[in-house]
Chains A and B, each alone.
Chain A
Amino acid sequence: AQSVTQLGSHVSVSEGALVLLRCNYSSSVPPYLFWYVQYPNQGLQLLLKYTSAATLVKGINGFEAEFKKSETSFHLTKPSAHMSDAAEYFCAVIAPNAGNNRKLIWGLGTSLAVNP
């Protein structure tokens, strides 16, 4: 069965530092990959998605992610963290053979803290 692993349930960075949130998927066939963010007291918002086009995907708020098939990874990065980036980040996939079953399969989430 498809699964998603996010390494590190809590990540803390200093303002201005690089943000790196890790996501690995388990599938021999690349799935469709998503990063969502949940700011405090808000719903889930799509940051970016990979659907078999360019392997480097740019999203909102300066985030990007690179799909690496050889590593079965889709890590999320941002060159310089802002205080407003403090939130919980979720990696999710849709299985490549999903057909009409487009359910998202989620990682556990990573809570990002940004220190002044």
Chain B
Amino acid sequence: EAGVTQFPSHSVIEKGQTVTLRCDPISGHDNLYWYRRVMGKEIKFLLHFVKESKQDESGMPNNRFLAERTGGTYSTLKVQPAELEDSGVYFCASSQTRSFDTQYFGPGTRLTVL
């Protein structure tokens, strides 16, 4: 069974540019999460999809961040325009439907905004 995959693994962009991160969850997992770790700080929740619907987007920093999950499959997280403070590692995770199922994580995308 393939795990959670994320693309790209690294992205270096300049302030003001746009970047789109992609996450492919484990097949059949309805729940998809995005988290972010800024250097020196704890991992923080960004949002949670159940299938194609946003269940909880309370962690999204501001309206420069847009997340979508097309047809309840893969998800994208777009940052437009990127700011310096957006640098960090963006993790995606997926889980099955039952409560408190294990969240399986991808390897993360390291975003550097210069």
Contact A102 B48 (CB under 8 A): yes
Give chain B's interface secondary structure class. strand
A80 within 8 A of B: no
Could you say which residues of chain A place their CB within 8 Å of the CB of B114?
none
Could you say which residues of chain B place their CB within 8 Å of the CB of A104?
33, 35, 43, 45, 103
A45 within 8 A of B: yes
Could you say which residues of chain B place their CB within 8 Å of the CB of A106?
35, 42-44
Give the number of chain A interface residues (Cβ < 8 Å): 24
Contacts A101-B48, A104-B45 aside, 9 further interface pairs with beta carbons under 8 A come to: A4-B42, A36-B105, A46-B102, A46-B103, A49-B100, A90-B43, A102-B31, A102-B95, A106-B44
A-contacting residues of B (Cβ < 8 Å)?
3-4, 31, 33, 35, 41-45, 48, 50, 55-56, 59, 91, 93, 95, 99-100, 102-108
Shortest beta-carbon contacts, A-B, top 10? A44-B105, A103-B45, A43-B107, A106-B43, A43-B105, A106-B42, A108-B42, A101-B56, A46-B102, A32-B100
